[in-house]
Homo-oligomer: A and B are copies of this chain.
């Protein structure tokens, strides 16, 4: 950035006007967008899904290795992922930011470019938010609103005995990306002249910095007439999240290590979908290369187990069972 404009020169209202001056709306359900006390939405005939996330600098992201454009993009995508995980289609978001005077208008523009890029890619409208001062650090709060055909939403609690446990995409890459960036940051802080060697790591870095939400899987369900019996997005890691589904559904599970679509390790931040389907829906999903069947739901009394490649059965623990150790 060659120019630095202090936010104080625009003021809070000026900053909002500036950052939202090119904001477009894409949905007929967006009746009134940014600029009033609230947005007005019309979801006549649909049910509405709402989810929210709070992201704090130093806890959820590190600006040393996170470009603001990517941060804006990711802040939106992680929320949309929760909407898709309800079998819903996101339509609107609000984005609030708390910023210290360390940030310039240009920095906020870069962040909002990422927000708008996600809005365009996932076809959602930015309809509101709050912009305020923080004493220290960057704080982001995103709320996403989606639409679902009445009573077609999918919770974590509907998994039934014999249902097939499935995941989309592959697992673990985002976590590996995080480890890599932490290592490179340490090297950079110790020896700023050393250029990081990230060339060969493009895929896992992209998964960390610019994750995708699995809109395509939800659209596939719609086309094929599949309604999963339970679903969530994998944000804590597969082992932790399958335990959430089992607990909410009051069931057990049996996973197979050799069925896991593991890129490397599974440590969360994958934003893939974990879901269960009835056995009779197997034919509908078997040809989709983006979906892996990794096990099945059992009675609660049978516990939550994984069968390793060597044929041993292990209890799955919340701390994260590591399939590669």
Contact = CB atoms under 8 A, between A and B. Distances in A.
Q: Is the interface of A mostly helix, strand, loop or mixed?
A: strand
A305 B248 CA distance: 61
A276 interface: no
Interface in A88-121: 88, 92, 94, 96-98
A121 to B, nearest CB: 20
A283 interface: no
Interface in A18-71: 31-32, 35-45, 47-54, 56, 58-60
**Residue among A47, A94, A148 having the largest count of chain B Cβ atoms under 10 Å:** A47
Nearest to A79: B38
B86 A53 contact: no
A77 interface: no
Contacts of A82: 37-38
B42 A48 contact: yes
A213 B192 CA distance: 53
A262 interface: no
A40 B36 contact: no
A133 interface: yes
A303 interface: no
A95 to B, nearest CB: 9
Nearest to A11: B318
Given A38-B82, A86-B40, A52 B94 contact: yes
A137 B134 CA distance: 10
Contacts of A31: 47, 153
A106 B114 CA distance: 39
A56 B98 contact: yes
Interface in A144-175: 144-146, 148, 150, 153, 155-157
Given A45-B44, A132-B60, A150-B42, A98 B54 contact: yes
Contacts of A268: none
A232 interface: yes
A128 B83 CA distance: 13
A132 B59 contact: yes
Contact of A86 (B37, B98, B156): B37
A92 B50 contact: yes
Shortest 6 CB-CB distances between A and B: which pairs? A38-B51, A141-B141, A37-B82, A54-B96, A37-B85, A41-B48
Interface of A: 31-32, 35-45, 47-54, 56, 58-60, 82-83, 85-86, 88, 92, 94, 96-98, 127-130, 132-137, 139, 141, 143-146, 148, 150, 153, 155-157, 231-233, 248
16 contacts: A31-B47, A38-B50, A38-B83, A39-B49, A40-B86, A48-B48, A51-B128, A52-B96, A52-B128, A52-B141, A52-B143, A54-B98, A54-B141, A56-B98, A56-B132, A141-B141
